[in-house]
Chains A and B, each alone.
Chain A
Amino acid sequence: DIQMTQSPSSLSASVGDRVTITCRASQSISNFLNWYQQKPGKAPKLLIYLASSLQSGVPSRFSGSGSGTDFTLTVSSLQPEDFATYYCQQTYTTPPEGNTFGQGTKLELK
Chain B
Amino acid sequence: EVQLLESGGDLVQPGGSLRLSCAASGFTFSNHAMSWVRQAPGKGLEWVSVISGGGRNTYYADSVKGRFTVSRDNSKNTFYLQMNSLRAEDTAIYYCAKDVGITGTTPTFDYWGQGNLVTVSS
Contact = CB atoms under 8 A, between A and B. Distances in A.
Q: Do A and B come from one complex?
A: yes
Nearest to A93: B106
Contact of A96 (B44, B59, B100, B114): B59
Interface string A35-46: 010100001111
B61 A99 contact: yes
By size class, the interface of chain B is: 20 to 34
B13 interface: no
A43 B114 contact: yes
Which secondary structure characterizes the binding site on chain A? loop
Contact of A101 (B44, B50, B100): B44
A91 B107 contact: yes
Interface residues of A, number: 25
A43 B44 contact: no
Contacts of B100: 49
B53 interface: no
Interface string B57-99: 1010110000000000000000000000000000000010000
B50 A96 contact: yes
A103 B47 CA distance: 12
29 contacts: A34-B108, A38-B45, A43-B114, A44-B112, A46-B108, A46-B109, A46-B110, A49-B108, A87-B45, A92-B106, A95-B59, A95-B105, A96-B47, A96-B59, A96-B61, A96-B105, A96-B106, A96-B107, A97-B59, A97-B62, A98-B61, A99-B61, A100-B107, A101-B44, A101-B45, A101-B47, A102-B44, A104-B44, A104-B45
Interface of B: 37, 44-47, 50, 57, 59, 61-62, 95, 100, 104-110, 112-115
Interface of A: 32, 34, 36, 38, 43-46, 49, 55, 87, 89, 91-92, 94-104
